[in-house]
Amino acid sequence: MLRSFTDIFKIPELKKRVLFTLAVIAAYRIGAAIPIPGVNAAALKSLFEAHRNSLLGFLDMFSGGALNRLSIFSMGIMPYINASIIMSLLQGAHVFPYLDRLSKEGELGRKKLNQITRYGTLVLGLIQSFGLAIAVSKMPTPGGIPIVDDPTVAWTMLTVLTLVTGTVFIMWLGEQITEQGIGNGISLIIFAGIVDRLPSAVKDLFRLLQAEEISLLAVLLLVALVLVVTTLVVWVETAQRKIPVQYAKRVVGRKMYGGASTFLPIKVDQSGVIAVIFAISLLSTPLTVAQFFPEATFAKIINDWWNRSSLIYELIYASLIIFFCYFYNSVSFNPKDLAENMKKSGGFIPGIRPGDPTAQYITKILERVTLGGAVFVAAIAVLPDYMRHFLNAPFFFGGTSLLIVVGVALDTVGQMESHLIMRHYEGFMKDGRIKGRWFNVK
């Protein structure tokens, strides 16, 4: 496998893409360490230490630790994700005919939709950055020390401008990775922020062990939990339901075409980490609204109930993951178009009539497979958090973070492997490629 990784640098194009991706991620991490002026770093750190296992700490993980420093990248990529969710919902609900027309115009329509999403990111970034600036200037800390020494109007406007510029810059970095680098840019930026916390999380774990705040047995159980969850995530992320497809023989001129047998692969977790990221983004919305009114009663209720130890929060979180798994499939996978294309090319599923019966059969299979994958992803995202809470482990060891890290890593390695195989190199595995596993669902 090590020899296969060295093959990356033998292909000029792939080498350029990998180095470009690493350079962009390095630039992102440098920006995440640059704080906004006028902020008391010690007071801010004490606040996040007190809320390490709350939703606030969860959002800090997604910003790669930028939020607890109130750096120029504090909002991370969340406004862009929220704008993408809104655009996807509007297209799926067919609210605006203009968006429907753009979605059918191919590459030109896709570019226009992306441009609208960017404008939406700018608007949401302005709203969220203003709320964050107000909340930070008024948020009480454990020691009673103000986070902002002089919260003037000028400081607020400077903070809003800085945060919005940082978000737009991160959005641009993600798009550059997707176009000129390797992997999905937005997912890799989130991935980099989570992985960056790994050394400090391991250090905290050893510190707790030395201070006898956690037992050796608990550490071993935690390590076993991480290994089991990682194995399960890889197992499900590579699982596929293969629907057999037969192509009829056709005679064109003096040659005979067709007669081949193939299959239609349907992934168990078709949405990958998208559903998890979308769910987290929506969960942060009530907290964002509460930031505008820190002294209001409903804001205090949200802060009390909207945390990761709350049963209501976990139920809503799991429900949103399941919803977005189905929603993503409905947007990205159209059984009717697939059945129509199969019919035009002479393909059919054995035992199923072409046309509408084929579309209904594919829809039934897709719904059943998606249900299993969605429930698994929701369980992995929620259950390890409860186990981690009882083991008093660092926040990093959560099911959500492992889902994202493993999912993004598999996707990125798969893309690199495709580049290698296209140029007649072996994949990272001895038997060729990282293959999906086959299973049967009737």
Q: pLDDT, tens digit, for every residue of 226-277? A: 888 888 888 888 888 888 888 776 666 666 655 677 888 888 888 877 888 7
Q: pLDDT, tens digit, for every residue of 357-414? A: 888 998 889 888 888 888 988 888 887 666 666 665 555 556 777 778 888 888 888 8
The pLDDT assigned to 441 comes to 42
Whole-number Å distance between alpha carbons of 139 and 283: 20
pLDDT above 70: percentage of residues in the chain: 79
Q: How confident is the model at residue 438 (pLDDT cuts 50, 70, 90)?
A: very low
Neighbour tally for 25: CB within 10 Å: 22
Whole-number Å distance between alpha carbons of 97 and 105: 13
**CB of 280 closer than 8 Å to CB of 58:** yes
The pLDDT assigned to 405 comes to 84
H or E element, residue 265: strand 261-267
Q: Structure tokens of 285?
A: 């919305």
Please choose, from the candidates 45, 64, 8, 22, the residue with its C-alpha nearest in 3D space to the C-alpha of residue 401.
64
Q: pLDDT, tens digit, for every residue of 320-368? A: 889 988 888 887 778 888 888 888 877 888 888 888 888 899 888 988 8
Angle among Cα 25, 28, 34 to the nearest 5 degrees reads 150
Mean pLDDT of 150-154: 84
Whole-number Å distance between alpha carbons of 98 and 85: 17
Whole-number Å distance between alpha carbons of 214 and 208: 6
Identify the CATH homologous superfamily for domain 2-439: SecY subunit domain (1.10.3370.10)
**CB of 70 closer than 8 Å to CB of 321:** no
CA distances from 114 to 87, 121, 179 (A): 9, 10, 14
Q: pLDDT, tens digit, for every residue of 88-103? A: 777 766 677 887 788 7
Whole-number Å distance between alpha carbons of 201 and 205: 6
Q: How confident is the model at residue 176 (pLDDT cuts 50, 70, 90)?
A: very high
Global model pTM greater than 0.85: no
* Alpha carbon distance, N-terminus to C-terminus of the chain: 37
